[in-house]
């Protein structure tokens, strides 16, 4: 009898610790900028789960069985389709609850958070899915950020940005720049020897004086191109994930985007 009572108590305690009430369910976000957006608009009772660990490259994330269970049980899953994170898209297909794909049917570039104007539409979409949400503060922040970029990039000597992978195309188009990418839309996509030679010539011909690498990727290609083209190597952050140290230091989406603006202004010779 005593053993039976101990088992019953243990099971009751486990149920209380593991379960979530209907008022306190998790919203799962695919990776950092989406988690930042959800956290900024969600009511206080909602917890936000970022499926991509701090400092991890979201393209590389594989879901554990526990992650898949979290996705299936979530109140809402916010993600980007189009093959950006195939494992998550597979898990979403097995859900019965609502999921929000922020990538439009006619969009091919998933890096929507790097364009503050486009990202504001995504914030609105998230807020519309969550009862009791308030997007006004985040939308005001994004409007100010857009204004800063417009002012900061309106009078520059150069207009070509050389990046590690094609993450900044939407940002470039928004502010009248041209992106020259050393790889595709995934940072793991590297050029072959002949293509590398062509890239070096393209950088020289563009007049760019800076090649941008990324903080989450150790990129020998960027170093090689910068050295051979006589350019400076600098950092431009695609804001796909911040390390725990950076988060603890108070960095967030807005602060990193402002640091990106400063890096762009220096590289482009803006006045």
Backbone phi, then psi, for 122, in 5-degree steps?
Answer: -65, -40
For residue 241, give the nearest of 11, 47, 53 by alpha carbon.
53
Strand ranges in 65-213 using DSSP code E only, listed in sequence order: 76-79, 99-101, 160-163, 178-181, 210-213
Quote the percentage of the chain above a pLDDT of 90.
80
More confident residue, 156 or 2: 156
Instruction: Give the tokens for residue 41.
Output: 């608009």
More confident residue, 44 or 65: 65
pLDDT > 90? residue 267: yes
CB 185 within 8 A of CB 165: yes
For residue 242, give the nearest of 230, 257, 227, 228 by alpha carbon.
257
| Helix, strand, coil percent content, the chain, rounded in steps of 5 | 50, 10, 40
Instruction: Give the tokens for residue 251.
Output: 């960095």
Alpha-carbon torsion, ordered 15, 30, 258, 233, to 10 deg = 120
What's the average model confidence in pLDDT over 171-176? Answer: 98
Residue with token string 């400076």: 232
| pLDDT band at residue 142 under the 50/70/90 scheme | very high
d(Cα 161, Cα 141) in Å, to the nearest integer?
Answer: 25
For residue 123, give the nearest of 44, 49, 43, 40 by alpha carbon.
40
Name all domains of the chain by residue range, CATH numbers in brackets: 24-132 (3.40.50.1980), 142-268 (3.40.50.1980)
d(Cα 143, Cα 170) in Å, to the nearest integer?
Answer: 16
Q: Give the Cα-Cα-Cα angle 33, 242, 218 (nearest 5 degrees).
A: 120
Residue 39 CA from chain centroid, whole number: 14
pLDDT > 50? residue 13: no
Pairing of strands 26-29, 76-79: parallel
d(Cα 268, Cα 231) in Å, to the nearest integer?
Answer: 12
Q: What is the pLDDT of residues 85-136, one digit of tens each?
A: 999 999 999 999 999 999 999 999 999 999 999 999 999 999 999 999 999 9
Residue 164 CA from chain centroid, whole number: 15
pLDDT at 25: 79
CB 264 within 8 A of CB 270: yes
pLDDT > 70? residue 11: no
């Amino acid at each position: 009898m005593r053993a039976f009572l101990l088992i019953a108590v243990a099971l009751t305690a486990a149920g209380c610790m593991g379960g979530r009430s209907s008022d306190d369910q998790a919203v799962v976000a695919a990776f950092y900028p989406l988690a930042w957006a959800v956290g900024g608009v969600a009511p206080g009772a909602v917890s936000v789960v970022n499926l991509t660990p701090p400092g991890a490259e979201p393209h590389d994330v594989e879901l554990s069985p526990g992650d898949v269970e979290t996705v299936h049980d979530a109140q809402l899953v916010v993600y980007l389709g189009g093959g950006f994170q195939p494992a998550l898209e597979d898990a979403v297909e097995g859900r019965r609850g609502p999921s929000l794909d922020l990538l439009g049917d006619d969009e091919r570039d998933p890096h929507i958070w790097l364009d503050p104007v486009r990202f504001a539409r995504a914030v609105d979409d998230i807020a519309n899915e969550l009862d009791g949400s308030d997007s006004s503060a985040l939308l005001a922040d994004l409007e100010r950020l857009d204004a800063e970029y417009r002012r900061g990039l309106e009078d520059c000597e150069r207009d070509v940005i050389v990046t590690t992978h094609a993450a900044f195309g939407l940002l470039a188009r928004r502010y009248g720049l041209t992106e020259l990418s050393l790889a595709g839309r995934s940072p793991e996509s590297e050029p072959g020897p002949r293509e590398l030679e062509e890239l070096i010539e393209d950088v020289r011909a563009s007049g760019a004086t800076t090649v941008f690498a990324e903080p989450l990727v150790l990129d020998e290609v960027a170093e090689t191109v910068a050295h051979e083209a006589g350019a400076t190597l600098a950092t431009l952050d695609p804001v796909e994930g911040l390390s725990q140290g950076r988060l603890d230091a108070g960095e967030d989406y807005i602060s990193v985007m402002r640091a990106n603006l400063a890096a762009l202004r220096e590289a482009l010779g803006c006045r």
